[in-house]
Amino acid sequence: MSTNSFTLTDEMREQSIGVESEPVSMAIEQGHVARFAEAIGDDNPAYTVGTPETGGIIAPPTFLRAMRGIRPELPFDAPFTRLLDGGSDWEYFGHVRPGDTITAVGRVEDIRERTGSIGQMLIATIKITYRNQHDAVVATQTSTSIRY
């Protein structure tokens, strides 16, 4: 429980919305995809040997979570030390396959302040856009992060 008193001003909100992270890139490896599928307990052959329908091996839908450090920096200091993941909204536009290089950029879509059962919270909506080496958007992930 935080006892901070913090006010998110309109100015801070305006400065935050639209802030982007540095791009992060990852080469997609077949062994990594197989280990991820095993870890999530999904034995779908699309992730290990490929299927006629998928035209070869593809990555599981949430595999892109393995790309880390995609965090836009807020342009102000907030006195919160804890972070909760509130959830995600994924949209898929194409497959991710071994051999692809995916580049991700996160953008602050919204930020708001609320007081709830865990005290004062700063709730940020971050949209990550994942592009492949052909500059095609393969997925977007809009997630809610809660600092408190």
Partner 1 sequence: MSEQIYFEDVSEGMELPVEVRNPTPRQLVQYAGASGDFYEIHYDRNFAQSTGLKDIIIHGALKNAMLGAYVTGWAGPAGELRRLTVQYRGMDYPDEPITAKGHVSRVYQEGQSNLVDCTVWLENPEGQQTTPGTATVHLPSRSD
Can you give the binding site for partner 1, defined by CB under 8 A? 32, 35-36, 38-42, 44-46, 51-54, 60-62, 65-66, 68, 84-92
Q: Name the token pair of 104.
A: 């991700």
Cα separation, 104 vs 130, whole angstroms: 4
Q: Which is nearer to partner 1, 20 or 42 (CB)?
A: 42
> Phi and psi at residue 108, in whole multiples of 5°?
-75, 115
R_g over Cα of the chain: 18
Least Å distance between CB 67 and partner 1? Answer: 8
Token pair in block for residue 62: 């949430």
With beta carbons less than 8 A apart as the criterion, state whether 36 and 66 touch: yes
Q: CB 101 → partner 1: shortest distance, Å?
A: 17
Nearer to partner 1 among residue 15 and residue 142 (C-beta): 142
Question: Closest distance between partner 1 and the C-beta of residue 84, in Å?
Answer: 8
Question: Which C-beta is closer to partner 1: that of 85 or that of 135?
Answer: 85
